């Protein structure tokens, strides 16, 4: 079965709302596509950098700033710079009729004005995706030592082409950290802040972010990257979003193979974010060296923290949103309930506080 169409939707510029972009995202998901949404206030560089890492079939841009004649050619130029020169570009916004042909001449493959029928947008993206994939068929074996090659190799794994990828032996000491927790506990924001701090400490960080697949349409909104995006690309951080494809346990079918590629590509810290997990979602322990369980103030008591399941497989605990009332009580209850030497840290992603002791612990786990 062919993998779903993979499209990135970016809102570039200073426009303060994204209602239209979110409507497009939902409709593409309902059409069975995997949609990476990067959120408001993106730049051309951050957009193309994300598209390269995600190895998308199509890049879609929402513009209301009347800057289409500047931004879209810059996107096409950056696609060449990042090694994805043939990825189709589409743009939605108020585009004057006189500008459409010049835009097409500058490499824009689809132009959608307000009022364009959704079925026409979906059909156009599907057609462009087919052309994009056909172009890639003649490409050589990807080199995972380059970001573009690593991104393409991950796609090959998802397509079942593992045997065609020569994977060099891992030579860099590394650690794979699973990050799990209930929906809404703040895993993506936490990972973004943690990764930033690790990069500041001169680490190369790979992130594998898993989001659920719709059991009805087979599509996915891969929105974890949204909370990790920076306007300026961070070259030492590689983020790849995966859909769960219906797999139970909080991970995607190819999570472990992707982490092996990241290790071989010399990323020394790999962070694996599960989907919102319940007590029985423990599969992350089979792919990670260590598991951090995120909780938040008021999320449980000493009895709750003694239950079997995800609490048992965690090797460390993070009370996120530690700036909220009750954080100290939750940290104390956790330590009382565990009765062992597993670490408990309080962090505030909003205030960017508490990460250094956690980074120290992660660095102590890096090994060959």
Calculate the CA 313 to chain-centre distance.
Answer: 24
In terms of domains, do 189 and 312 share one? Answer: yes
Is residue 163 in some structural domain? no
In terms of domains, do 208 and 282 share one? Answer: yes
**Boundary (domain end) residue, out of 85, 107, 136:** 136
In terms of domains, do 19 and 128 share one? Answer: yes
Instruction: Give the strand order in the sheet containing 290-295.
Output: 237-243, 205-211, 269-273, 175-181, 290-295, 316-319, 343-346
Residue 302's pLDDT is 47
In terms of domains, do 127 and 179 share one? Answer: no
Structure tokens given for 313: 């497989």
Structure tokens given for 46: 């951050």
In terms of domains, do 101 and 239 share one? Answer: no
Is residue 153 in some structural domain? no
In terms of domains, do 95 and 189 share one? Answer: no
Is residue 250 within 8 A of residue 291, CB to CB? The reply is no
User: CA torsion, points 208, 212, 215, 216, in degrees to nearest 10?
Assistant: -110
**Boundary (domain end) residue, out of 86, 119, 136:** 136
Is residue 144 in some structural domain? no
- Give the phi and the psi of residue 353 in degrees, each rounded to 5: -120, 150
Is residue 124 in some structural domain? yes
In terms of domains, do 30 and 96 share one? Answer: yes
In terms of domains, do 336 and 199 share one? Answer: yes
Q: Which residue carries 């090994």 as its tokens?
A: 367
pLDDT tens string for the chain (368 positions)?
A: 689 999 999 999 877 678 888 999 999 999 999 999 998 889 999 999 999 999 999 999 998 767 899 999 999 999 999 999 999 999 999 899 999 999 999 999 999 998 899 999 999 999 999 999 998 888 899 999 999 999 999 999 999 998 898 877 778 899 999 999 988 899 999 999 999 999 999 999 999 999 999 999 999 999 999 999 888 899 999 999 999 998 888 899 999 999 999 999 999 999 999 998 776 788 999 999 999 999 999 875 544 555 557 888 999 999 999 999 999 999 998 888 888 899 999 999 999 999 999 999 999 999 86
Cα–Cα separations (whole angstroms), residue 350 to 311, 321, 353: 25, 7, 8
CA 21 to CA 26: how far, in whole Å?
9
In angstroms, the first-to-last Cα distance of the chain is 37
In terms of domains, do 247 and 313 share one? Answer: yes
Residue 304's pLDDT is 55
**Boundary (domain end) residue, out of 81, 110, 136:** 136
Domain containing residue 24: 6-136
Is residue 32 in some structural domain? yes
- CA-based nearest residue to 9, from 110, 150, 100, 85: 110
Residue 300's pLDDT is 58
- As for how many domains the chain has, the answer is 2
Is residue 61 in some structural domain? yes
Say which DSSP state 284 is in. Answer: G
CA 300 to CA 320: how far, in whole Å?
13
* CATH at 316: 3.40.50.300
Cα–Cα separations (whole angstroms), residue 234 to 11, 73, 308: 19, 22, 39
Is residue 141 in some structural domain? no
Residue 301's pLDDT is 52
Is residue 347 within 8 A of residue 318, CB to CB? The reply is yes
CA 242 to CA 251: how far, in whole Å?
9
In terms of domains, do 303 and 182 share one? Answer: yes
pTM value?
0.95
* CATH at 47: 3.40.50.280
- CA-based nearest residue to 56, from 150, 132, 116: 132
Is residue 338 in some structural domain? yes
In terms of domains, do 191 and 329 share one? Answer: yes
In terms of domains, do 90 and 236 share one? Answer: no
């Amino acid at each position: 079965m062919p993998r779903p169409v993979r499209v990135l939707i970016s809102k570039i510029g200073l426009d303060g709302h994204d209602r239209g972009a979110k409507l497009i995202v939902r409709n593409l998901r309902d059409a069975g596509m995997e949609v990476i949404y990067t959120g408001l206030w993106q730049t051309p560089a951050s957009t193309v950098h994300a598209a390269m890492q995600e190895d998308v079939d199509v890049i879609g841009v929402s513009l209301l700033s009347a800057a289409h004649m500047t931004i879209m050619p810059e996107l096409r130029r950056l696609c060449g710079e990042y090694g994805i020169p043939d990825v189709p570009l589409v743009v939605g916004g108020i585009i004057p009729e006189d500008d459409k042909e010049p835009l097409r001449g500058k490499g824009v493959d689809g132009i959608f004005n307000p009022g364009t029928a959704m079925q026409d947008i979906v059909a156009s993206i599907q057609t462009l995706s087919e052309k994009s994939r056909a172009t890639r068929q003649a490409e050589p074996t990807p080199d995972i030592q380059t970001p573009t090659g690593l991104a393409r190799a991950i796609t090959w794994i998802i397509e079942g082409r593992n045997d065609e990828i020569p994977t060099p032996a891992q030579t860099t000491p590394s650690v794979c950290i699973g990050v799990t927790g209930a929906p809404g506990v703040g895993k993506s924001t936490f990972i973004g802040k943690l990764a930033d701090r690790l990069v500041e400490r001169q680490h190369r960080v790979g992130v594998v972010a898993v989001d659920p697949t719709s059991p009805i349409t087979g599509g996915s909104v891969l929105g974890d990257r949204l909370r990790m995006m920076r306007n300026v690309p961070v070259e030492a951080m590689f983020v790849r979003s995966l859909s769960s494809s219906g797999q139970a346990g909080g991970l995607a079918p190819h999570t472990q193979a992707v982490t092996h590629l990241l290790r071989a590509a010399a990323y020394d810290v790999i962070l694996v974010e599960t989907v919102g997990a319940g007590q029985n979602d423990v599969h992350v322990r089979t792919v990670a060296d260590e598991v951090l369980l995120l909780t938040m103030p008021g999320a449980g008591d000493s009895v709750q923290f003694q239950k079997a399941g995800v609490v048992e497989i965690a090797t460390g605990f993070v009370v996120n949103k530690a700036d909220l009332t009750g954080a100290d009580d939750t940290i104390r209850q956790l330590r009382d309930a565990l009765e062992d030497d597993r670490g408990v840290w309080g962090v505030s992603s909003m205030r960017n506080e508490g990460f250094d002791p956690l980074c120290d612990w992660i660095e102590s786990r890096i090994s060959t």
